[in-house]
Amino acid sequence: MSRVTLWIAAAVVCLTMTACSKQAPIEQKSYTFRGKVEAVDTQSKSLKINGEKVEGWMDAMTMDYKVDDPSILDTLKPGDQITATVYDGDEKLHKVQIAGPPANNGR
Ligand SMILES: [Cu+2]
């Protein structure tokens, strides 16, 4: 009986410690960014984008953005509409994707 109680107590302590040591990951706030490619700069691995306002992240403006994966630059050209994921305190564009024209899906 006492052995079982001890074992349970030990198990509970163990679980508690595991829970404590497991730091909750800091959830970085993310936003969806939309814009039009104005220029592709493969030298500096950046895109000049006329971006829509992203509430809480960036006003509507045209500026240069770094990208998380420079290989995307080869697939982009001026005039392309793109979407990307952006994060608080980070001006880099993540998961850049070419967005089709708004209304008519490429037709
Ligand atoms: Cu800006």
Beta-carbon contacts of residue 106 (< 8 Å; ≥ 6 apart): 100
Residues near ion ligand 1 (CB < 5 Å) are 58, 61, 63
Query: Over the stretch 38-72, which tens digit does the pLDDT of each residue have?
Result: 999 999 999 999 999 999 999 999 999 999 999 99
Which domain covers residue 56, as residue numbers? Answer: 30-99
% of the chain exceeding 90 in pLDDT: 66
Query: Over the stretch 82-99, which tens digit does the pLDDT of each residue have?
Result: 999 999 999 999 999 999
Question: Does 105 reside within a domain?
Answer: no
**What per-residue confidence (pLDDT) applies to 28?**
85
Q: What is the CA angle 10-17-27, rounded to 5?
A: 155
How remote is the CA of residue 40 from the centroid of ligand 1, in Å?
17
Q: Which of 86, 87, 93 is nearest to 66 (CA)?
A: 93
How remote is the CA of residue 81 from the centroid of ligand 1, in Å?
17
Question: Does 13 reside within a domain?
Answer: no
How remote is the CA of residue 84 from the centroid of ligand 1, in Å?
15
Average pLDDT taken over every residue of the chain: 85
67: domain CATH number is: 2.40.50.320
